[in-house]
Amino acid sequence: MLVFASFLPRAAVVVALLSSLTAAAQTASTAPELVLLRPAAVFDGQDRHEGWVVLVEGSRIKAVGPAAQIAAPATARLMELPGLTLLPGLIEGHSHLLLHPYNETPWNDQVLLESQALRVARATAHARRTLEAGFTTARDLGSEGAGYADVGLKQAIDQNLIPGPRLLVATRALVATGSYGPKLATDVDVPQGAQEADGVDGIIRAVREQIGKGADVIKVYADYRWGANEPARPTFTQDELNLIVRTANSAGRPVVAHASTPEGMRRATLAGVETIEHGDAGTPEIFRLMKQRGVALCPTVAAGDAISRYRGWQPGQPLPERLVQQRASMRAALQSGVTLAVGGDVGVFPHGDNVRELELLVQDYGLPPLTVLRGATSGNARIFHLTDRGTLAAGFLADIIAVPADPTQDLAALRQIKLVMKGGVIYKNL
């Protein structure tokens, strides 16, 4: 008994010591990893700084600045990135992950003939390509006949089931009855590429339904072609657009508007939408109104370029009327000083080729590369109310990409993505 009694305190000490060591080991193993990224330069969302480094802790940025001023703990893992520029993950302003290029399959056939399972499988591949192209966030502005599949896609990405960008989804989008498609014979009703809604009760119900199903943003078609060979014309009345915005805003959701006619753009702007998508026939007066009201333009010039090429046009040939109008509109927009969001309507052209919009804004519309790069990072983040990304600074999400040379001088560097990190997790490292 005496031996047994004298053994108990020692056993208790040993058990306590082992428990303490186990707890310490568990704490160490669950502590966020520290990674020090040492490139040639850092573009922080505004300017490029040579000799800067970025310290990442878990999913967030812990510090950014000159290498001599960042004291990284000895436990930090060092990533040497010689010759590369770090920049915030790019933000795609207008995409459709559930569509693929129209020269592969026409839009009507995608909506009517492709099963939702097939479309989701494609979208899974599209999401990966988008992320690997350096776009760590995307506004996906309409499932185009695939219901709420974009919500499920977003959930799969968020739950780390599939790789992809952080998504802001618009779900089904809203159209005035009879104004959208597909359209077949007048005595045949077919599934539509968006949700039809009219009048007070119908509009409130549709907006609330989309929000309840997971919409981050409400998209409305303020104008469209009523008939196959007609020009675009306004769809919703001013009162209806006002109601859409009021209903969405009361639930904390912004509204964006597809609009290409001056009147459609005017009504949407007066209603209080946050961005106008396309704006192909915008006028100086409309753009001045948008600037006055704080409405941004997402011109999607890459979509117009792609569709023109599908119809046979090639660079070097006389511009088709669509591009003549688009270039005139963009000149007016730039002269007005309206805020530009950067998004290409990708899906019309291949996913993973998102940088095409940025390149065309420089090549065809004369914007400086630095302006476009700011737009695709901190600019889009500001317009879309994404206060945790678009900038490389302490406290922001560790959504970081790396490219060769200096992308603020030549956007061709964005075609050579060497590193993609999203939330501190590396998805691509060449």
DSSP letters spanning 380-423: HHHHTT-TTSSS-STTSB--EEEEES-TTT-GGGGGS--EEEET
Write down the pLDDT at residue 77.
97
- Across the chain, mean pLDDT equals 93
Question: Tokens in use for 387?
Answer: 């206060």
Say which residues have a Cβ less than 8 Å from residue 34's Cβ, sequence separation at least 6.
55, 56, 57, 62, 72, 73, 75, 76, 77
Does the pLDDT value for residue 6 go beyond 80? no
The burial class, CB within 10 Å (0-12 / 13-18 / 19+), for 253 is: middle
Calpha distance 71→202 (Å, rounded):
59
Say which residues have a Cβ less than 8 Å from residue 363's Cβ, sequence separation at least 6.
none
- Continuous segment of H or E residues that includes residue 214: none
Taking alpha carbons only, the member of 368, 430, 420 closest to residue 47 is 368
Looking at the chain, the whole-number percentage of residues with pLDDT higher than 70 is 93
Contact yes or no for 42/30 (Cβ under 8 A):
no
Does the pLDDT value for residue 312 go beyond 60? yes
Does the pLDDT value for residue 21 go beyond 80? no
pLDDT in tens, 297-308: 999 999 999 999
Say which residues have a Cβ less than 8 Å from residue 92's Cβ, sequence separation at least 6.
130, 135, 137, 138, 139, 165, 343, 344, 346, 354
- Give the residue-averaged pLDDT of 338-342: 98
- Give the residue-averaged pLDDT of 281-294: 98
Amino acid sitting at position 303: A
pLDDT in tens, 102-142: 999 999 999 999 999 999 999 999 999 999 999 999 999 99
pLDDT in tens, 399-412: 999 999 999 999 99
The burial class, CB within 10 Å (0-12 / 13-18 / 19+), for 244 is: buried
Does the pLDDT value for residue 13 go beyond 50? no
What residue ranges define each of the domains in the chain, with the CATH number in brackets? 34-88+395-399+406-429 (2.30.40.10), 90-354 (3.20.20.140)
Calpha distance 349→346 (Å, rounded):
5
CA atoms within 13 Å, Cβ hemisphere of 166:
18
pLDDT in tens, 237-247: 999 999 999 99
The burial class, CB within 10 Å (0-12 / 13-18 / 19+), for 315 is: exposed
Query: How many other C-beta atoms are found inside a 10 Å radius of the C-beta of residue 364?
Result: 17
